A and B are shown apart, each in its own frame.
Chain A
Amino acid sequence: MDSGFDFDVIQRSWVYLFREGMSFTLTLTALAMAGGIVFGTLLAMMRLSSIKPVSMVAGAYVNLMRSIPLVLVIFWFFFLVPYIGAWVIGAREPIKVGAFWSAAITFTMFEAAYYCEIMRAGIQSIPRGQVWSGYALGLDYWQTMARIVLPQAFRNMLPVLLTQTIILFQDTSLVYVISATDFLGAAAKVANRDYRLVEMYSFVAVVYFVVSYGLSALVRRLQERIAIIK
């Protein structure tokens, strides 16, 4: 290693890093957040269901996902999704799925388990009387959930859901293990090409820090505002 650092490499590559890498990271985060919250809420409703098999299936899924490392889950889905895809469309051979869609499915399925636990706590924090009054008004289960319980649960849990999303944003960097070109992956490619690992990885750390810290500061402010209204 020659002495002295060359931070020019960042100036030369930042357009690529953000256009290719960061847009991958942000799209993946947004998709997985939307999918994860929807699927997670369904899982939470299943876990709280009075029908035993339903709550058991959801519970088993959530506990399984929370017991194994994310890296292993990424590998699982990377190899599993082509088979599931083939099964869904009835093809003989495993279909080809790019790193992006593989990652999007992985993170949706994985984060759903974590969003589920948050939404479950949110639903359980709603007084039972709310549900009963829903039924007393003649609403059915889905109407009570959609119009009375979930809006309140969602709102109470908003700061935690957003904090989980910041963690998701950081976790997406693990797609490095399937050689996807997310922000870290793009930086790693430049770093290895120009042999500028110190500069690139320091820069990546700074960018992640700035984004995550900024977002958590916003969440904290939101939390204070919600707390006052409540």
Chain B
Amino acid sequence: MNYNWHWKVLLETEPGGTGSYLHYLLVGLGWTLATALAAWVIALAIGALVGTLRTTPMKWVVRAGNLYVEIFRNVPLIVQMFLWFFVVPELLPKGLGDWIKQMPPPWGSYVPAVLCLAIFTSVRVAEQVRAGINSLPRGQRMAGTAMGLTETQTYRHVVLPQAFRIILPPLTSEFMNVIKNSSVALTIGLLELTGRARAMQEFSFRVFEAFTAATVIYLLTNLVVVLAMRALERKVRVPGLIAAGSAPQAGH
């Protein structure tokens, strides 16, 4: 293959004049992380709530939870991105919709991207939370009731503390998925890491340098997340349980 590598391009100034291309990509990483973290916090909150509600004996609540999960699991992420970006502002009251559409960049794409990723990820968190709760022996819940705890107290003091410690490893991989999925936000104009690698390729015509740099940055980010989460996992592991054997699951 005759491709002339030209790595020095990373140190050349990007057309916007904000600094070198490398700096330009690292700012992109900043946006990737800012998007992923914000979405992750919201996703954890909604996912924990929906996942827990789906294990309760309340029939209608379970059904509503199932509906929520099925809707957001069966529509592709990029289509959901377009719904949040193009469709939602049109369906809101005119004043609010116009205000959203006139948000200055990058907030005009950042906010829909965060909301979209948050909801999309919350569904997957909800599934993990439900699986975690259901993996606990039934005796735990019965023991709680037998001791005179109410339903809520059983969840609060017996079920949830164990469930969350069990599902930490699958949640780690969900967190990495949010980081990766945030790249879809480039389709609504958010210049995160992949978007900036693409832009760099268009400005400088250095295709493979741009994508290699982005790939390396993603790999390093992954490494940091994995190491940090492993340390956390060691800390919160439930003593006596073998590392929660996760069943093989489809994913992306």
Report which A residues bind B (CB closer than 8 A): 1, 64, 67-72, 75-76, 79-80, 83-84, 86-87, 92, 114, 117-118, 121-122, 157, 160-161, 163-164, 166-167, 170-171, 173-174, 176-177, 184, 197-198, 201-202, 204-205, 208-209, 212-213, 216
CA distance A92 to B119 in the complex (A): 48
Interface contact B222-A184, CB-CB below 8 Å: no
Interface contact A71-B186, CB-CB below 8 Å: yes
Contacts of A80 in B (CB 8 A): 208
Contacts of B3 in A (CB 8 A): 83
Known A114-B251, A212-B74; judge A204-B79 contact (CB<8 A).
Answer: yes
CA distance A84 to B74 in the complex (A): 35
Interface contact A118-B248, CB-CB below 8 Å: yes
Q: Does B75 contact A (CB under 8 A)?
A: yes
Q: Smallest CB-CB separation from B180: which chain A residue?
A: A69
* Listed A/B pairs (15) with beta-carbon separation below 8 Å: A1-B90, A64-B219, A67-B176, A68-B219, A71-B186, A72-B183, A87-B1, A92-B2, A160-B248, A173-B76, A184-B78, A198-B87, A198-B91, A201-B86, A205-B80
Q: Does B164 contact A (CB under 8 A)?
A: no
Q: Smallest CB-CB separation from A188: which chain B residue?
A: B82
Q: Smallest CB-CB separation from B215: which chain A residue?
A: A68
Interface contact B78-A174, CB-CB below 8 Å: yes
CA distance A163 to B87 in the complex (A): 29
Query: Among B80, B86, B222, which residue has the most Cβ atoms of chain A within 10 A?
Result: B86
Interface contact B79-A75, CB-CB below 8 Å: no
Contacts of A121 in B (CB 8 A): 248
CB under 8 Å from chain A, chain B span 194-219 = 194, 197-198, 201, 207-208, 211, 214-215, 218-219
Contacts of B79 in A (CB 8 A): 173, 184, 201, 204-205, 208
Q: Which of A70, A118, A197 contacts B250 (CB 8 A)?
A: A118
Q: Smallest CB-CB separation from B77: which chain A residue?
A: A170
Q: Does B83 contact A (CB under 8 A)?
A: yes
CA distance A49 to B73 in the complex (A): 35
Contacts of A209 in B (CB 8 A): 71, 74-75
Interface contact B197-A72, CB-CB below 8 Å: yes
Q: Which of B83, B186, B194, B248 contacts A201 (CB 8 A)?
A: B83
Interface contact B83-A213, CB-CB below 8 Å: no
Known A171-B76, A202-B83; judge A69-B1 contact (CB<8 A).
Answer: no
Number of residue pairs across A and B with beta carbons under 8 Å? Answer: 123
Contacts of A161 in B (CB 8 A): 250
Q: Does B13 contact A (CB under 8 A)?
A: no
Contacts of A173 in B (CB 8 A): 76, 78-79
Within the complex, what minimum Cβ distance (angstroms) separates B33 from chain A?
A: 13
Within the complex, what minimum Cβ distance (angstroms) separates B131 from chain A?
A: 14
Within the complex, what minimum Cβ distance (angstroms) separates A37 from chain B?
A: 13
Contacts of A212 in B (CB 8 A): 73-75
Nearest first, the 10 closest Cβ-Cβ pairs linking A and B are A121-B248, A69-B183, A212-B74, A164-B250, A163-B250, A170-B76, A69-B180, A173-B76, A71-B183, A197-B86
Q: Smallest CB-CB separation from B173: which chain A residue?
A: A66
Q: Does B181 contact A (CB under 8 A)?
A: yes
Q: A114-B252, A163-B250, A201-B87 are in contact. List 6 more A-B contacts (CB 8 A).
A: A68-B219, A70-B183, A70-B252, A164-B250, A173-B78, A173-B79
Q: Smallest CB-CB separation from A171: which chain B residue?
A: B252
Q: Which of B83, B186, B207 contacts A205 (CB 8 A)?
A: B83
Within the complex, what minimum Cβ distance (angstroms) separates A73 from chain B?
A: 9
Q: Which of B87, B222, B250 contacts A160 (CB 8 A)?
A: B250
Contacts of A72 in B (CB 8 A): 183, 194, 197, 211, 214-215, 218
